[in-house]
Amino acid sequence: MNRTPRRTGGRTLLETAPDQLVWALYGRESFDVTGDAEQVTAQLSDMREYVTGIGGRIGREFPENNVSAFRRVQVMLPDGTYGYRVVRPDWDAMMTELRKGTYNSLCLPNIDRGMRDPRDLEDLIDLVEYYGVHVVGMTGNIDLTTDTGISAARHDVNQRNQESRNIARRMQGGNRRAAMKGRNHGGANRPFGWRKDRTGANKREAKHIRREIPRLLAGVRPATIAIEWNERGIPTVTGRGQWRAMTIVQIFTNPRLCGWKTYQDEILTDADGNPVEGVWEPIITEDEHLALVEAIRPSKPARKNRGRGHVMKYLLSPFIRCGKCNARMYGGVQYYHKKTGDPVVAYRCPAKGWGGCAGVTRLAAPIDAYVTELVLQEQSRIRLQRRKELPPWDREDELRDVTQQIQESTDAYKAKRISGSRYFALIEDLETDERQLKAEKRRHEAKRQTRATEIPDLRAEWNRPNFTLEQKHAAIAKSITAVIIHPAPHQGAKFAPDQITPIWNEDDE
């Protein structure tokens, strides 16, 4: 077979010798309910008989079951940006082998089975024009050697692409209508916390979820929960792999936990602006969900000294400041105790090249003990004040009015009672107000829930093994914003309370 095709008069000239044909056979089915690949198997069987009548030998068969030729996914492009492409591993592997010359002929059931993305068709046209690959289809008329045949193939693929878009649009509309009724949809795996029917709660997993709620609200990081669950051998939904921090975040911020229905990451609301409730059993309350979202994904940035971010090893690391230059200090081992061999930690001001003055170094233990006692006394005083439960959020009616205005404006635009210029200018302001009100509501509900789940006796909890360093950081942050450490009055001077200045938190929480 001639491997150098010649293009002349709008035609690619291929000199095919039947005995030299080495076939690649490709069969595909988009959706196989049973998973037995019956359709793909039948396609390949028919193609074997078809190419035998033409001549040559079969090099390899490429079955691709349950793979769409239309649906696109996000992929990284050579320039480092992201684009959307149809990804079919077996099709791509076959095209690579055809370009390498491993096979010189391709048989498809028809052009519809081969592709529904114009990009794939252009790649196939290049195979014919530049690599001399002989392409045939069992049904239809695939002739990529002539301009007329190429034009017909492009028209056919574009038509199939439009059909797939219409089907996808109808399915999306149907899925959204089902979601508005609170039904379950999508996903090969059940959500963590529910049984296989996705309706009843899995008692064991629900217990794990409920146990971690007060800890997350008290400041424990999702990464810590993931580490602990792995150590305790709590299985994932699939029973494979390890727990990750992002998985924990997704579980505990999922509106499904409180019974709310989402569609494409959006909480669905009814005509009155209330969240649509799913048909499954909720595991937590709505207030708990709002509090978790605010604690894990706050609507406004938390202060850096709240202990969020990377893991810190020492008690006052998020809070300590140098009394000479006001730089953030850091903790580290100063030396090891001669008798016990235990590390002795000190708080240091960084060197001048690292943003500090290197003028203050103090042992951490007495400062930790003093600040801990200050915090425990402060929290005990607050506890004895019998703090009243926060009242419900008082702007609920305002949020409901804004939501109703958005719906009424949208209805008026659809009915062509207002112009697009007026509608989009109005809706932008209304949606901004809605976002701000919802964020304020989440913060308020988070405060209510935090008060409801506060540790009753911080002093009793402080030294318990399961009271993590992150929880201590969060407890300190409720009372203290910063701790300024002043230089020692002379070398070897013992710690005295007047050598540090605590900056008390003025927030109501």
Identify whether residues 248 and 339 lie together within a single domain.
no
User: Per-residue pLDDT for 98 more than 90?
Assistant: yes
Side chain identity at residue 76, one-letter code: M
- Going by C-beta distance under 8 Å and a sequence separation of 6 or more, which residues neighbour residue 151? none
Of 12-21, 309-318, 321-330, give the range with the top mean pLDDT.
321-330
Chain segment 468-496, per-residue pLDDT in tens: 888 888 888 878 888 999 998 888 888 89
Residue 218 and residue 147 in one domain: no
User: With a threshold of 0.75, does the pTM exceed it?
Assistant: no
> Are 91 and 160 part of one and the same domain?
yes
Q: Which of 85-94, 178-187, 211-220, 455-464 has the weakest average pLDDT?
A: 178-187
- Assess if residue 190 is contained within a domain: no
- Would 336 be classed as within a structural domain? yes
In which band, very low, low, confident or very high, does the pLDDT at 198 lie, cut at 50, 70 and 90? confident
pLDDT in tens, 332-378: 888 888 888 888 999 999 998 888 999 999 999 999 999 999 988 88
Q: What's the confidence (pLDDT) of residue 182? A: 54
- For residue 305, what pLDDT band results from cuts at 50, 70 and 90? very low
92 with 127: CB under 8 angstroms? no
Is 178 within the bounds of a domain? no
Least confident of 39-48, 107-116, 127-136: 107-116
The residue-averaged pLDDT of 418-447 equals 82
Percent of the chain with pLDDT over 70: 85
Residues 252 and 381 in one domain: no
Q: In whole numbers, what is the pLDDT of the chain averaged over residues?
A: 82
Same domain, 52 and 132: yes
pLDDT at 168 over 70: no
pLDDT at 407 > cutoff 80? yes
- Which of 102, 134, 164 represents a domain boundary (last residue)? 164
Q: Please indicate whether residue 381 or residue 155 has the higher confidence score (pLDDT).
A: 155
The predicted structure's pLDDT at residue 509: 46
Q: Are 217 and 445 in contact, with CB atoms under 8 Å apart?
A: no
pLDDT at 402: 87
Find the mean pLDDT for residues 302-306: 46
Q: Which residues of 410-437 are buried (b: 16+ CB within 10 A; e: fewer)?
A: eeebeeeeeeeeebeebbeebeebbeeb
What pLDDT sits at residue 303?
A: 47
Same domain, 377 and 409: no
Q: Is residue 424 part of a domain?
A: yes
* 464 is a domain residue: yes
Judgement on whether residues 242 and 281 belong to the same structural domain of the protein: yes
Instruction: Check whether 174 has a pLDDT greater than 90.
Output: no
Q: Is 414 within a domain? A: yes
Residue % of the chain over a pLDDT of 90: 25
Number of domains comprising the chain: 4
Q: What is the pLDDT of residue 507?
A: 56
- The verdict on 439 and 341 lying in the same domain is no
Is a pLDDT exceeding 50 seen at residue 451? yes
Of 182-186, 239-243, 413-417, which gets the smallest average pLDDT?
182-186
Q: Domain with 41 in it: what CATH number?
A: 3.40.50.1390
Q: What is the mean pLDDT of residues 410-423?
A: 84
> Is the pLDDT at 423 greater than 80, yes or no?
yes
Is residue 309 scored above 50 in pLDDT?
no
* 218 is a domain residue: yes
* CATH number for the domain harbouring residue 215: 3.90.1750.20
Average pLDDT on 405-423 reads: 84
Q: 276, 297, 318: which is the final residue of a domain? A: 297
Question: What would you measure as the largest C-alpha separation in the chain, in angstroms?
Answer: 100
pLDDT, average across residues 318-333? 90
Is the alpha carbon torsion for 168, 170, 173, 174 positive or negative?
Answer: negative
| Statement to judge: residues 345 and 473 lie in one domain | yes
Torsion of CA 298, 260, 190, 73, to 10 degrees: -70
Position 253 scores a pLDDT of 92
Indicate the DSSP class of residue 259. Answer: T
Written in H, E and C, the secondary structure of 313-370 is CCCCCCCEEECCCCCECEEEEEEECCCCCCEEEEEECCCHHHCCCCCCEEEHHHHHHH
Half-sphere exposure of 22 (CA within 13 A, CB side): 14
Band of residue 456 on the pLDDT scale cut at 50, 70, 90:
low
- 1 located within any domain: no
The parent domain of residue 443 ranges over: 396-447
Which two tokens mark 239? 């029973």
- Per-residue pLDDT of 131-159, as tens digits, reads 989 999 888 677 888 888 888 888 888 88
Domain co-membership, 33 together with 55:
yes
Is the pLDDT confidence value at 290 over 80?
Answer: yes
Q: Are residues 320 and 365 in the same domain?
A: yes
Same domain, 401 and 384: no
pLDDT at 145: 87
